[in-house]
A and B are shown apart, each in its own frame.
Chain A
Amino acid sequence: MLEVVYALWRRDMIKFLRDRRQLITSVTRPFLWLLAFGFGLRGSVRLPVVGADYVSFLVPGLATMTVLFASMFAAISIVWEREFGFLKELLVAPVPRGAIVAAKILAGSTTAIIETALMLALSPLVGARYSPWGAVASIPVLIVFGMTVNALGIIVAARMRSFEGFGSVVNFVIQPVFFLSGALYPIAGLPHLLRGIVIANPMSYAVDAVRGLCLGHHGFPLALDLAVVVLSAVVLGALATRAFRRMEA
């Protein structure tokens, strides 16, 4: 069972590492954000965090964003493999459906974390300042968050027959999750309604945990952040397994 999960995970990793172009394009996106938003707004944004400029403040949010986009879109491989038949090979094999889902979620999260780690490692080059040990400690949090997001992607993919369908639903979901997560702004001082939405969004807790670890600025207690991140991974993982079981090949 574990060996099957490993073999399936390894398959996705081999393909990811063979596709260098994907890696490069996915790292350029957060840098574009960092340059455009960070430097564009640095002068006009007043932050409650002592000692952090806006560029540094954005890094944890954009790291979490990178995981969100990369891990969510990794789930498109389910649509791809169903359309081109490979999924059938897995479904007639004596492999538990849960093992296939676990391998997919782990692989989606791993590819996302590779991109994010690259982005974190390179961001000091454009002047971002954060605790390197905090960044290292953030990696497990981001891995679990990536699993949550990939599980959500699988739930969407299990219902989709086309790439366009998957893309439009995912974009519809991903934009509000990102913009209403506190990735671009601190939660303190938000208007009442907006604050309520941000607090209801699980991604806010992942962003808060990473920002706390990297910059020492917390909106919520770290224990609450971790609890929400882990709990959403468990719930969405279970829902993804159910959606996958019900899917017709």
Chain B
Amino acid sequence: MTAPAIEVQDLRKSYDQVEAVRGVGFTVGAGEIFGFLGPNGAGKTTTIKILCTLLQPTSGTARLAGMDVVSSPSEVRRRIGVIFQDPALDDRLTAEENLQLHAVAYRVPRAERAGRIDEALQFVDLFDRRKDLTRTFSGGMKRRLEIARGLVHRPDILFLDEPTTGLDPQTRARTWEVLRDLRQKYGTTLFLTTHYMDEAENCDRIAVVDHGQIVALDTPAALKRAVGKDLVAARTADPAALGRLLQEKYGLASTPSEGGLTFMVEQGDAFIVKLLTSDRPPLEGISVRRPTLDDVFLSLTGRQIRAEGAESNMARVRAMARRR
């Protein structure tokens, strides 16, 4: 039996007074797409930095393909690829030069380099731009080039820290296509962090993290089932009357929304039928939707994930660029 791709036990990391990671443990199988989902500051980036040997854990163990990240960093580095939150390209080199340097650093056999670089560039649709300086690339192109770079040395495990933060929806969708192709073609294990709920849906399994701990770990579908309730939105001219009815007859709390109110109920589709066929205030419309991972996070932590990190990060980079 082969070792799991990633095996983490009771991992902890403290900075001065703050404990950023507080006893995290999980196992990722080979070829799995595994997501770390949580708000900014939950300890996602710290965990990823420990797994890719950039930070030493305060305590606990992390093994990649059976090798310890603290005692065998070089062996671990050879087998992983990392795509960071902020681009880590040399923007005064061309796309091709960036990949060539990477191929040498990862000791890709000389005879295979040119072929692999061309293949990687074609894979992310950047072959035509290979002679251009990467500083002329858009954010999405840079991200794709980084993915291409991650492919050149055929890593067993690819780490992606917030892979689509700051990208427009089309580019995000395209990036995910590339990532799924990658798993299918090479069997690469993907470990990613995100605070986008819809992005987490692409994972086989998700660990929901908050305040440095895993609060839930399962498939997206199972996590949503665990919430158990559907979200119903009703449009009515008399929300007060409908709210009273829901409270008195079914014991359901509701919240006012534009043109009506919303409430959560088990088996929403059956409930709607029941509601429509009973004595009720007039309704203008009604809809039911399955819980999303947003609802999962809300029910697990009592808070909503906010996407604020991306903007402040970009502002920092822009400020640096101006100072240059």
A residues with a Cβ closer than 8 A to B are 3-4, 7-8, 11, 14-15, 18, 81, 83-95, 163, 248-249
Contacts and interface: CB of A to CB of B under 8 A. Distances in A.
Given A89-B88, A94-B107, A83 B54 contact: no
Contacts of A3: 104
Contacts of A85: 84, 86-89
Given A3-B104, A7-B104, A85-B84, A92 B89 contact: no
A79 to B, nearest CB: 11
Contact of A94 (B93, B97, B105): B105
A92 B48 CA distance: 12
B52 interface: yes
Contacts of B80: 92
B82 interface: yes
Interface in B40-89: 49, 52-55, 74, 77-78, 80, 82, 84, 86-89
A92 B77 CA distance: 6
B88 A86 contact: yes
A83 B105 contact: no
13 contacts: A7-B105, A11-B93, A18-B92, A84-B87, A85-B84, A92-B52, A92-B53, A92-B54, A92-B77, A92-B82, A94-B107, A163-B324, A249-B49
B102 interface: yes
Contacts of A4: 104-105
Interface of A is mostly: helix
A15 B105 contact: no
Interface in B88-111: 88-93, 97, 100-102, 104-107
A190 B16 CA distance: 51
Given A88-B88, A248-B55, A249-B54, 8 more contacts: A7-B105, A85-B84, A92-B80, A93-B102, A94-B78, A94-B107, A95-B105, A163-B324
B18 interface: no
B317 interface: yes
A94 B87 contact: no
A85 B87 CA distance: 6
A192 B74 CA distance: 53
A85 B145 CA distance: 15
Contacts of A91: 54
A14 B86 contact: no
B101 A8 contact: yes
B270 interface: no
A3 to B, nearest CB: 6
B84 A93 contact: no
B185 interface: no
Nearest to B104: A7
Among A11, A18, A163, A249, the most chain B Cβ lie within 10 Å of the Cβ of A11
Given A11-B93, A94-B107, A84 B320 contact: yes
A15 B84 CA distance: 23
Contacts of B77: 92-94
A246 to B, nearest CB: 12
A92 B106 CA distance: 10
Contacts of B52: 92
A92 B49 CA distance: 9
B92 A15 contact: yes
5 shortest interchain CB distances as A-B pairs: A85-B88, A7-B104, A93-B105, A94-B77, A89-B88
Contacts of A7: 100-101, 104-105
A163 B90 contact: no
B113 to A, nearest CB: 11
A130 B194 CA distance: 65
Nearest to A93: B105
B306 interface: no
A93 B106 contact: yes
B86 A15 contact: no
Contacts of B87: 84-85
B59 to A, nearest CB: 19
B161 to A, nearest CB: 10
A88 B84 contact: yes
B82 A11 contact: no
Nearest to B323: A163
B92 A90 contact: no
Contacts of B97: 11, 14
B67 to A, nearest CB: 12
Interface in B255-293: none
Nearest to A10: B101
B55 to A, nearest CB: 8
Among B53, B88, B91, B149, the most chain A Cβ lie within 10 Å of the Cβ of B88
